[in-house]
Amino acid sequence: MKKHNFSAGPCILPKEVMQKAAEAVVELDGIGLSLIEISHRSKEFVAIMENARALALELLGLEGKGYQALFLQGGASTQFLMAAFNLLDKKAGYVNTGTWSQKSIKEAKLIGEIIEVASSQDQNFNYIPKGYAIPSDLDYLHLTSNNTIFGTQIKKFPKTDVPLVCDMSSDIFSRQMDFSKFDLIYAGAQKNMGPAGTTLVVIKENILGKVSRQIPSMLDYKVHVSKDSMFNTPPVFAVYVSMLTMQWLKDLGGIAAIEEINERKANLIYSEIELNPVFSGFAAKEDRSIMNATFNITDDSLKEIFDEKCKEAGINGINGHRSVGGYRASMYNALPLESVGVLVDIMSDLEKKG
């Protein structure tokens, strides 16, 4: 039975990527050996790492602009700490837009002084704060571009001379923007890029070396840059599959092409949520995420039928996060428009029943 995979992450990846990844586990490109049994120093894997690093910069439009791409381990959660370790000298600012922002604040507080420049906690994070003041003496301002749990997304980034650090774990490679306004971008692979196990870090080289503390090697961006992202054994499978997914995206036409499809998917579900009285959206309209649509059912008596219909249709992974409840349809890059259509048809049928 065909499944429609709305999982929030790890999540759907392109079918052809998974096919190629499966083949490479048995034998990589006719070399008589598996991807996962060769040395990471072999010419085959070195080429994969180089290609993955180059593709990341190419897709983001950052080649030749002083940036380095790294594929590290420890998830985006390690980046909460690592960003502060490498960049926080005196004081950093954080915008608190939900669970992941809060976790990044908690880790950075271990390193130095943090000020929360804005927060949307007063309304359970259903909107993105705007128009807040950004002190000019911050070492950096930390943002979360897409709030996976609450389904909000920053549409307009603040204008500031303070260096910008952004957790793009759940919307990397999904929409066009000028990525050169960020000094550090990080994203766990397991949404739009690949399987869990690696984290993309894109860093502007000239922002490094400004803090005086000693940094443990594994947490030091400079060490990883100097070793071409091969300071220690990299997560070879996760890097390979990320490379395949980035190649898939490039072949499709890059971020511009996928953004158009992502907007169509988002428009389809949000217009249903708006028009159908059986459902209500969680996030403020102007801040709604094109990746994660969060919504509730207004008539509890229809919940059982809705869940049953979704199950019958092969819909997977639409339960909301435990901190929000309701439903969350995650529509990452590899999710076809058709899958959103299947979900929206069920929602629309439910209105007729209600």
Rounded distance, CA 35 to CA 26, Å?
A: 7
Q: Which stretch binds ligand PMP (CB under 6 A): 38-46, 163-171, 272-280, 305-313?
A: 163-171
Whether residue 76 is annotated as binding a ligand: the answer is: yes
Residue from 139, 171, 183, 191 carrying the catalytic annotation: 191
Site track 179-218 with ligand PMP (rule: CB under 6 A), x = hit: ---------x------------------------------
Supply the minimum distance, in Å, between the C-beta of residue 216 and ligand PMP: 18
Whether residue 52 is annotated as binding a ligand: the answer is: no
| Of 120, 169, 242, 276, the one binding ligand PMP by CB under 6 A | 169
User: Given the structure tokens 């502007």, which residue do they identify?
Assistant: 204
191 is a catalytic site residue: yes
Rounded distance, CA 316 to CA 108, Å?
A: 35
Supply the minimum distance, in Å, between the C-beta of residue 75 and ligand PMP: 3
Rounded distance, CA 257 to CA 300, Å?
A: 39
Q: Which stretch binds ligand PMP (CB under 6 A): 32-40, 56-64, 73-81, 333-341?
A: 73-81
Supply the minimum distance, in Å, between the C-beta of residue 100 and ligand PMP: 4
Whether residue 233 is annotated as binding a ligand: the answer is: yes
> What are the CA-CA distances from residue 256 to residues 52, 65, 147, 174 (Å)?
19, 20, 22, 8
Cα–chain center distance at 105: 18
Whether residue 160 is annotated as binding a ligand: the answer is: no
Supply the minimum distance, in Å, between the C-beta of residue 102 and ligand PMP: 11
By CB under 6 A, the residues from 261 to 290 that bind ligand PMP are none
Rounded distance, CA 327 to CA 201, Å?
A: 30
Residue of minimal Cβ distance to ligand PMP: 75
Residue 61 or 75 with smaller CB distance to ligand PMP: 75
Site track 89-108 with ligand PMP (rule: CB under 6 A), x = hit: -----------x--------
> What are the CA-CA distances from residue 189 to residues 62, 97, 240 (Å)?
19, 21, 11
Q: Strand 164-167 and strand 184-188: pairing?
A: parallel
Residue 171 φ/ψ region, left for φ over 0, alpha for ψ in the -120 to 50 degree band, beta for the rest? alpha
CA atoms in the 13 A half-sphere facing the CB of 186: 26
- In Å, the largest CA–CA distance within the chain is 65
Could you say whether residue 77 binds ligand PMP (CB under 6 A)?
yes
303 is a catalytic site residue: no
Could you say whether residue 144 binds ligand PMP (CB under 6 A)?
yes
Residue 167 or 272 with smaller CB distance to ligand PMP: 167
248 is a catalytic site residue: no
Could you say whether residue 254 binds ligand PMP (CB under 6 A)?
no
By CB under 6 A, the residues from 3 to 62 that bind ligand PMP are 9
Residues that bind ligand PMP (CB under 6 A): 9, 75-77, 100, 144, 148, 167, 169-170, 188
Q: From the annotation, which residues make up the binding site?
A: 41, 76-77, 100, 148, 167, 190, 232-233
Q: From the annotation, which residues make up the binding site for L-glutamate?
A: 41
Active site residues: 100, 167, 191
